[in-house]
Amino acid sequence: MNYQKLRRQSFFQLQEINFSEILAALSTDKKYDFLRNRATQISYTQFCVYAKNFCQAYFGTKKIKALDWGCGHGQNSVLLSDLGFNVQAGDIIECQSDRPLLAVKSIDFTAFNHQSRLPFDDQSFDAVFSFGVLEHVPDESASLAELNRILRPGGLFFCFNLPYFLFLGTKTGPSKG
């Protein structure tokens, strides 16, 4: 497989995934403003489409068991589910909050009660996704070793969206002040 060609096809052909179902599940709470931003929607969509295309080419199947590690509100879990992944969402228990988006697709959620140990068996997942999570963990080496433990041999780890204050997805409108 020509992965460079696959990457170009995935990122340079804008994919449309309907965010209306996601947006309809949200309250007007400001914590969700970043998801109403079109740049954020496009970014998450393109990353998820690329991951789907890559996984299908790499594994040779559409049946991919994935963990959305540090799922936050669950928007990427929903997108991955819409793209055909069998998704398990999880986040640290201290980040426990209402996650109405996971109910949209009845996605299972696991609360992590340790900063690096995960409550999954060895080799449980084909792929693990990190959307803006790795930079928040207190011990990167321990977390990466644990992710490696729960990935099956030849499994894939996708790390996207390390935060950057000028990233368009973090902007919610003109600044006031």
Q: What is the pLDDT of residue 61?
A: 92
| Sheet strands side by side (includes 151-160) | 108-112, 86-92, 65-69, 125-131, 151-160
Q: What is the pLDDT of residue 13?
A: 67
Q: What is the pLDDT of residue 103?
A: 87
- CATH 1.10.10.10 assigned to domain 31-165? The reply is no
Q: What is the pLDDT of residue 177?
A: 38
Q: What is the pLDDT of residue 26?
A: 85
The pTM for the full model equals 0.85
Q: Where are the beta strands (DSSP E) in the chain?
A: 65-69, 86-92, 108-112, 125-131, 151-160
Q: Which of 154, 153, 128, 155 is nearest to 143 (CA)?
A: 128
- Evaluate the CA torsion angle 13, 14, 18, 24 in order and state its sign: positive
Take residue 26 and report the two structure tokens written for it. Answer: 């949200």
Take residue 95 and report the two structure tokens written for it. Answer: 């980040």
Q: What is the pLDDT of residue 176?
A: 40
Q: What is the pLDDT of residue 96?
A: 57
pLDDT tens by residue, the chain, 177 residues? 787 888 888 777 666 677 888 888 888 888 888 888 888 888 888 899 999 999 999 999 989 999 999 998 899 999 999 999 999 999 987 665 678 889 888 999 999 998 899 999 999 999 999 998 988 889 999 999 999 999 999 999 999 875 555 444 444 444 343
Domain ranges of the chain: 31-165
Q: How far are the Cα atoms of 27, 63, 92, 107 from residue 103, in angstroms, in the given order? A: 14, 21, 18, 6
Q: What is the pLDDT of residue 77?
A: 95
Q: What is the pLDDT of residue 173?
A: 46
